[in-house]
Amino acid sequence: TAVAVVFGTRPEIIKLGPVIAALGAAARPVFTGQHYDAALVDTFLAVAGVPDLKPALPGIGGTGRADQVSLMLSGLTALWRADRPDAVVVQGDTNTANAAAQAAHYLGIPVVHVEAGLRSFDRNMPEEINRLVISAVADVHCAATEENAEFLLRAGTPAESVHLTGNPIVEATRAILPSEFARRRALADAGVTGPDFVLATIHRPENADDPDRLALILAQLALLGRPVVLPLHPRTRQTISRYEVPVPPQITVTDPLDHARFLALATACTLVVSDSGGVQEEVTVIGRPLVVVRNSTERPEAMRAGFALLAQPAEILDAARRLLDPAHLARLAHTPSPFGDGHAAERIAALTLAAIHHTPAAAEP
């Protein structure tokens, strides 16, 4: 049995690591190379236990959306026509997941979608369109939450194909939580000298590509009254240097961190400020408060459980004040993650193997 597990970006590698482990010898990892910056890829591949760091499809990273999807669609089609897997697993809402799901579907290979059923209802987000495309072609939908499953059912997805599995980010986060020693070293390396600091990440196009909006975010971070560590995504770094966006002295900029170091800072900090998708899930596992700097979110569960507040750039300070209320913080420490129980990957692996045996091999039209 061969299950192609496809990923192209940092968050996919993180979340599919436990699925690859649960599939054992059946897993055949395929890295498309959508993220091509070594800082976003190399250590993550090593941690996920992927032996071959060469992308299956060289030259994908850095091209436009249409080019990326079409290059990956034809590249993966050729790959799988020559060496056909029994099933294909994709994760989330990237161009990689979109192209891989389509390629597998057209070849008649069962498609398993991890983190299925997220919806922001914001069609300006490229990720939202990717989610809709993947949902349309997937055969097994692995939803992290009841609400995600509900969105799929309401859209007419056959009920027998929708499964509540949880999100493997829960076990991925728990597995990589650093020891006290590693934590102290990560803090020292990032220049953190006291216990009261903010960890921030900004990389979504709506924030990272707009120099005025980015400057406002950085100015608000400086107003939080504590040192800020900002591991800088290459996309954001590019805007800061191209438009000479001022970085206030309260902010220490670092390169992107490996996952263990990032979680070390996230567990130790007072507050996280981020526009990341995965970070909205991780804070619920480690019990930290998070200001989400975005127009919309497809993960309202983190907000409903009290971990996160959505804020426009000018509202960051206000949202931080509300989250840092001591009684609120005490409640968070005892609130379970709404994204799963830490056994999602086992369920996803079992569903994938079952799908292979239940789907009759379809001929390519």
- Compute the chain's Rg from CA coordinates: 20
CA torsion angle 323 328 334 339 (round to 10): -40
CB of 127 to ligand UDP, least distance (A): 8
Using the minimum distance from each CB to ligand UDP, give the nearer residue, 201 or 239.
201
CB of 71 to ligand UDP, least distance (A): 21
Using the minimum distance from each CB to ligand UDP, give the nearer residue, 32 or 276.
276
Using the minimum distance from each CB to ligand UDP, give the nearer residue, 28 or 203.
203
CB of 25 to ligand UDP, least distance (A): 27
Q: Angle at which helices 169-176 and 278-286 pack, to 10 degrees?
A: 60
- The contacts of residue 189 (CB under 8 Å, 6+ apart) are 261
CB of 75 to ligand UDP, least distance (A): 22
Q: Report the Cα–Cα distance between both ends of the chain, in Å, rounded.
A: 23
Q: How many CB atoms lie within 10 A of CB 279?
A: 24
Q: What count of Cα atoms within 13 Å lies in the side-chain half-sphere of residue 227?
A: 14
Using the minimum distance from each CB to ligand UDP, give the nearer residue, 105 or 259.
259
Residues that bind ligand UDP in the complex, under the rule CB under 6 A: 10-11, 14, 201, 203, 231, 256-257, 259, 262, 276-279, 282
Using the minimum distance from each CB to ligand UDP, give the nearer residue, 33 or 85.
33
CB of 217 to ligand UDP, least distance (A): 15
Q: How many CB atoms lie within 10 A of CB 115?
A: 34
Using the minimum distance from each CB to ligand UDP, give the nearer residue, 192 or 353.
192
Sign of CA dihedral 21, 22, 26, 30: negative
CB of 280 to ligand UDP, least distance (A): 8
Backbone angle region of 309, left / alpha / beta, with phi > 0 → left and psi within -120 to 50 → alpha: beta
Whole-Å CA distances, 358 to 139, 142, 214: 11, 17, 50
Tracing tokens 């076990």 back to the chain, one arrives at: 171
CB of 181 to ligand UDP, least distance (A): 19
Using the minimum distance from each CB to ligand UDP, give the nearer residue, 108 or 234.
234
Using the minimum distance from each CB to ligand UDP, give the nearer residue, 74 or 238.
238
- The contacts of residue 210 (CB under 8 Å, 6+ apart) are 239
- The contacts of residue 197 (CB under 8 Å, 6+ apart) are 226, 227, 228, 229, 268, 269, 270
Q: What's the rounded Cα separation, in Å, for the pair 263 and 44?
A: 13
CB of 213 to ligand UDP, least distance (A): 17
Query: Does residue 259 contact residue 43 with C-beta atoms inside 8 Å?
Result: yes
